[in-house]
Structures are given as C-alpha cells and as structure tokens.
Amino acid sequence: MQASGDLALQVVLAVAAVAAAAYVAGRVHQWYRHGLQREVAYRRGYDQASSTLFALAIRTLRAASPHATNDRGGSATRLDDRTGVR
C-alpha cells in the first residue's frame, strides 16, 4: 500500500514537469517565430534598399545627361526632370 504523501508528491512533480515542458515549448516557438519575422523584415529592407539605390542611380544618370535619344529618329529630346516624360 502506498502512503498518501507519496501520491501527492508524484502529482506535484508531474504537474511541475508538464509546466516546465510547456514553458520550454513556448520559448522555442517564440524563438522560431521571431526568427521568421526577422528574416522577413530583412528581406523587405533589402528589397527596399536595392530599389531605392537603383532609383537614385537612374536619377543621377538623368541629372548627368539631360538629353536622351528618341527611339524613332535618334534625335535628342529633353526629358522632363520631374516626370521623366519626353
């Protein structure tokens, strides 16, 4: 026959083990999810930076060369600096 104190101790230890396992699982899940969010933010930032860099490069090229050749006749036409329209 078991003493009632041993059963109570086993129940307390089982509850503590389940609580510890749930805590560890939650922390692992949080770490994994935070890693995914960080990766998505990095990719979005990288895409935005590269598109901004290319836009800046094109703007710099337009400022350096205000004349462009027309696709039809090869004559030079001035581009509107604000809109990029010929």
What is the pLDDT at residue 29? 95
What is the pLDDT at residue 72? 52
Which two three-digit tokens encode residue 3? 């003493």
Domain chopping of the chain, boundaries = 8-59
The secondary structure of 56-74 as a DSSP string is: HHHHHHHHH--EEE-TTT-
Which two three-digit tokens encode residue 74? 């090869």
Nearest to 68 by CA among 59, 58, 78: 78
What is the pLDDT at residue 1? 47
Q: Residues of the chain whose pLDDT is less than 50?
A: 1, 70, 75
Sign of the torsion angle spanned by Cα atoms 24, 26, 28, 31: negative
